Amino acid sequence: DMAVRHYTLDFNLSTAVDSATAVSGLLSIFHEQELTETIHDTDGHGYLATFVGKNGRFVVLRVHSHGLVTVDLQCYEEDDIAQLDNVRECTALSFSLKLPALLRGAKVDRYWPTADGRLIEYDIDKVVYEENSDYQNIKILHSQQYGNILVLDGDINLAESDFPYTQAITGNGKENYAGKEVLILGGGDGGILAELVKQKPKMITMVEISFPELVIDGCKKYMRKTCGDILDNLKGDCYQILIQDCVPLLKKYVQEGRTFDYVINDLTAVPISTSPEEDSTWEFLRLILDLSIQVLHPSGKYFTQGNSANLTEALNLFEEQLGKLSCPVDFRKEVVCVPSYLEQYPFYQVLYL
């Protein structure tokens, strides 16, 4: 595993004396490390030099004309990079910011952006499951903090730590599912199903598109803290799991006039895109939303996830879509912190007016 560590050091200079001192100090450190220097022409925009050394070390030093100094050092993971810890001491600057190293090219990717574009480093140490279904790439990764994490097409879906997600998308314990008809769209991790069967509903129908049953197969083996043993069988006394596309099934239910007391949409988050007319994900969301409302009992409730609370424009667009359905509805939302998402997440409850 020849992963590369990428270290950065940033600091601001207040005077020309600081600049000369900083450059001189940094150059002496790099020369001591036997790094070969190449100075580049910046056309008067500060100072730029690159350094190449033994063991594959590579450094970029940039002193910007407005006083910002940036240092980027790349080396192999097993290399000794103690010289970075000496930079702050040798330059004797009053303000500096040293960021943790980025580990690039490792066997296990540990970086994911949040929905609003911030980079998060997770403590992921191994891949415990990976398969490709007809529809998506499926991974289950192990995190020391969050347990096993289900990742679908590169997006974190649910971790074993994320019971607050399951609570929120089922009504936060305020609903009575006993004797009720429930339809779950998605939910292949089994968390929602495992939680609701405890309340003895009349029947839960869960529709999971992943074919073959690779999401379910992975989760029943590696996400048992989430699903328990509920995925061991596709049918039980008060539930059935259907492996098929939910759209034709929803259309069939509409034609038959079948209704449910609860419809829980665990298929996809509100799209990040703010161009509903150009994004096929928005089109899919509107289709599912409209069909789901049509199979909802007049006194029933529809639950779904939103997206990052910081994506206010996208969430406002989703709420506008609720006002364009074939029948008038009202909605409520509750913002919840889902542990592995590392961001606030709204969940929606929709019901007939």
Residues catalogued as catalytic: 266
Q: 164 preceded by cis ω (within 30°)? A: no
**CA atoms of 167 and 336, how far apart (whole Å):** 10
Closest CA to 266 of 327, 215, 316: 215
Residues in the chain: 353
Strands 147-152 and 137-143, by their bridges, are: antiparallel
Q: Where are the beta strands (DSSP E) in 77-191?
A: 97-104, 111-113, 119-121, 124-132, 137-143, 147-152, 155-159, 181-186
- Residue 245 sits at φ, ψ, to 5 deg, of -70, 130
Token pair listed for 270: 């509100």
Q: For 173-205, b where at least 16 C-beta lie within 10 A, e where not — what string?
A: eebebeebbbbbbbbbbbbbbbbbbebebeebb
Strands 260-266 and 181-186, by their bridges, are: parallel
Q: For residues 259 and 293, is the Cβ–Cβ distance under 8 A?
A: no
